[in-house]
Chains A and B, each alone.
Chain A
Amino acid sequence: MSEVPLQPSEKLPTRRSADPTYYETPLLNEPVWEWAIPAYYYIGGLTGASLALGAAAQLAHSRKLEPLIDRCHWIGLLGTGASSALLVYDLGRPERFLNMLRVFRPTSPMNMGAWILSGAGGASFGAVLFRGRRGLPGAIGRACGYAAGVFGAGLATYTGVLVANSAIPLWQEARRVLPVLFGSSAMGSVGCIFGMLAESTENRRITRAFGAIGQMAELAAGIVMEKQVSVVPRVGLPLKRGWSGVAWKTSAALTAASVVLGMLPNRSKKRRIAAGLLGTLGSLLLRFTVQHAGVVSARDARASFHQQRAGRAI
């Protein structure tokens, strides 16, 4: 190198940008996940929460609850099957699904999720297979039902950790509330789906309470999440503006409408189905909105830059 001074000339004005980006291009690469992944968040949530409810019902040792427990376990079995199918479909190389189970890696929420899903699937299979048997098979069936409940509660909530464990500013900033949001929405989904099916009055009361508490917690968690991600204004933008903002508000409105409809006295079958449909749509839309808002966030380099400059990186 020559010895020519390299310093910026003092005579010339410097016009550095106060908020620079590289030609407004994104910093991060976009998530490659398509519709199957948010659909899995919903189905997995529904499945997991119903397995948890099934285990709780099993605890009560009541013959009247048998139809409810049966339904929970069947939804568990079918739901874990559908979940696996959605995940396999979305993989870049579907034939490699089982590679997830070649290691046990607590640092990877997706790996933990693969184990949780496998556990929930296996346990609900055992619960359905040995349902109502006597002796040892019956005991195995009951044990499977409890195990399915534990795996189910994990299945309904771990997806929040899965999303939060990411470099995408919006998802990262929402990490404390995402598991609550997804878990409570999953309980709401159970209330909605079971509410549309025929049930005894007693069982109906159980699923209604479980679902309504879930839906109310979902609405509260949504409000908290919007507040948390907006601490750095740029990070919170996707929940306020554009299609993702509209979808975010719509999903909350659908859930709120379902709650209100469910609480009105004199519940007719029609009204039950309407409340169930509204809540299901709200729950589904919530998952697709979180996914899409993450993509929007990944496209905004400034969201990452501002978040990190604000000292919220660690």
Chain B
Amino acid sequence: MPATKGFFTDTTLCIGCKACEVACKQWNQLPDDGFLFSAMSYDNTVHLGASTWRHVAFIERPVPLRPQDDGAFSWLFSSDVCKHCARAGCLESCPTGAIIRTEFGSVYVQPDVCNGCGYCIVNCPFGVIDRREEDGKAWKCTLCYDRLREDLQPACAKACPTESIQFGDLDELRVRAEARVEKLHEQGLTDAYLYGAKKEDQPGTEGLNAFFLLVDEPEVYNLPPDPVVPTKKVKAAWISMAASAAGMALVAVGAVLLGKGRRV
């Protein structure tokens, strides 16, 4: 078994060039998802989806941040991607077993098994996976499984010109990320923190194989502050189902006895 691989996306290094988006589209031969003008800063991709596996968010903040501070304004860029969660909602909810955990620890959708039921979509707390209209199958980032098999790094990480997207062994990435946060704190950027790097940071997903360094609240980047894999919470619903099924049986027996018992 190879070591668990992942991404460390350091958003303080992102320059918003979208090379990752382009490299991903090109390598994975993803269809276009419309040429729309969103009027959301430089972001015309808007959201991750079936044909968009990297998405660069452009945040214009009325908050100063040196050395950007020519006025009370700062840019934040962040390249979003599938998190390949340690406990993955899509994988656990998939009724066909199409979604699997690979030897690299990544979460992969087998297109030949997927039956297009769409259950993974409502089970992803990050809004990553989606169903493609044309073929009716669910798609998302594969962590470039085909490239990993050939000892290549994923296309987005390869294309990133600033090493904002770093690919590697998860353990090593975590060490590197913690050192980076420390350095930023020393430099005065005390807002810097890691999102989803460790199980303790994000108990709901038990940690992300693709984690981030952020300098503002997760919501600002359209990331959930405390995401939870739905399966972790559903026990209460199963108990409630057992109780209501038993209740239904009781009422049915009661109704039969009542109806039969009384003489007309």
- A residues bordering B, Cβ < 8 Å? 1-9, 12-17, 20-23, 25-33, 49, 52-53, 55-57, 59-60, 62, 64-65, 90-93, 96-97, 99-100, 102-103, 105, 107-111, 113-114, 149, 153-154, 156-158, 160-161, 164-168, 171-172, 175-180, 183-184, 186-187, 201-203, 205-207, 209-210, 213-214, 217, 294, 298, 301, 304-305, 308-309, 311, 313-314
Greatest chain A CB density within 10 A among B222, B245, B264 is at B245
| Any A CB within 8 A of the CB of B19 | no
Question: Taking A91-B136, A102-B96, A108-B92 as contacts, is the C-beta distance between A165 and B231 under 8 angstroms?
Answer: yes
Bound Cα distance from A213 to B129, whole angstroms = 41
Instruction: For A62, list chain B residues within 8 Å (CB).
Output: 260
Question: Do A308 and B241 touch (CB < 8 A)?
Answer: no
Interface string of B229-241 (1 = CB under 8 A from A): 0111110111011
Question: Do A9 and B64 touch (CB < 8 A)?
Answer: yes
Interface string of B179-205 (1 = CB under 8 A from A): 000011001111100000000000110
Instruction: For A298, list chain B residues within 8 Å (CB).
Output: 122
Nearest residue (CB) in A for B240 is A179
Ranked 7 nearest A-B pairs via Cβ? A92-B116, A92-B136, A206-B259, A7-B188, A96-B115, A22-B222, A56-B252
Chain B residues bordering chain A, tally (CB within 8 A)? 98
What are 29 of the A-B contact pairs (CB < 8 Å)? Answer: A4-B67, A7-B188, A9-B69, A12-B69, A15-B72, A20-B219, A25-B47, A26-B127, A29-B121, A32-B131, A52-B248, A92-B136, A92-B137, A93-B114, A96-B114, A99-B113, A100-B117, A105-B94, A107-B231, A110-B119, A114-B95, A149-B249, A177-B240, A180-B240, A206-B258, A214-B251, A217-B247, A304-B125, A313-B204
Of the 9-residue stretches B27-35, B55-63, B145-153, which lies at the interface with chain A?
Answer: B55-63
Which of B113, B225, B240, B249 is within 8 Å of A160, CB to CB?
Answer: B240
Question: Taking A29-B127, A56-B255 as contacts, is the C-beta distance between A108 and B64 under 8 angstroms?
Answer: no
Instruction: For B130, list chain A residues within 8 Å (CB).
Output: 29, 32
B45 to chain A, nearest CB (A): 11
| Any A CB within 8 A of the CB of B217 | yes
Not counting A59-B256, A108-B119, a sample of 5 additional A-B residue pairs whose C-beta atoms are within 8 angstroms of each other reads A32-B121, A49-B248, A52-B249, A164-B234, A305-B219
Nearest residue (CB) in A for B241 is A179
Question: Do B255 and A14 touch (CB < 8 A)?
Answer: no
Nearest residue (CB) in A for B259 is A206
Instruction: For A207, list chain B residues within 8 Å (CB).
Output: 255
Instruction: For A304, list chain B residues within 8 Å (CB).
Output: 125, 224
Which of A6, A187, A309 is within 8 Å of B251, CB to CB?
Answer: A187
Interface string of B200-229 (1 = CB under 8 A from A): 000110000000000011011110111110
| Any A CB within 8 A of the CB of B244 | yes
Question: Taking A183-B248, A309-B225 as contacts, is the C-beta distance between A53 and B255 under 8 angstroms?
Answer: yes
Question: Taking A23-B40, A93-B114, A107-B93 as contacts, is the C-beta distance between A31 and B122 under 8 angstroms?
Answer: yes
B128 to chain A, nearest CB (A): 8
Question: Taking A8-B63, A9-B66 as contacts, is the C-beta distance between A107 and B92 under 8 angstroms?
Answer: yes
Nearest residue (CB) in A for B257 is A60
Question: Do B187 and A157 touch (CB < 8 A)?
Answer: no
Instruction: For B231, list chain A residues within 8 Å (CB).
Output: 107, 165
Question: Taking A6-B66, A22-B220 as contacts, is the C-beta distance between A29 and B129 under 8 angstroms?
Answer: yes
Which of B71, B117, B190, B251 is within 8 Å of A92, CB to CB?
Answer: B117
Question: Do A97 and B245 touch (CB < 8 A)?
Answer: no
Question: Do A21 and B190 touch (CB < 8 A)?
Answer: no
Which of A15, A22, A157, A158 is within 8 Å of B59, CB to CB?
Answer: A22
| Any A CB within 8 A of the CB of B22 | no
Greatest chain A CB density within 10 A among B40, B184, B228, B248 is at B248
Greatest chain A CB density within 10 A among B67, B225, B259 is at B259
B134 to chain A, nearest CB (A): 10
A68 to chain B, nearest CB (A): 9
Nearest residue (CB) in B for A211 is B255
Instruction: For A175, list chain B residues within 8 Å (CB).
Output: 233-234, 236-237, 240
Question: Taking A20-B219, A25-B40, A161-B237 as contacts, is the C-beta distance between A167 and B258 under 8 angstroms?
Answer: no
Instruction: For B20, list chain A residues within 8 Å (CB).
Output: none
Complex interface residues of chain B between 46 and 89 (CB less than 8 A to chain A):
46-47, 49, 57, 59, 61-67, 69, 71-72, 89
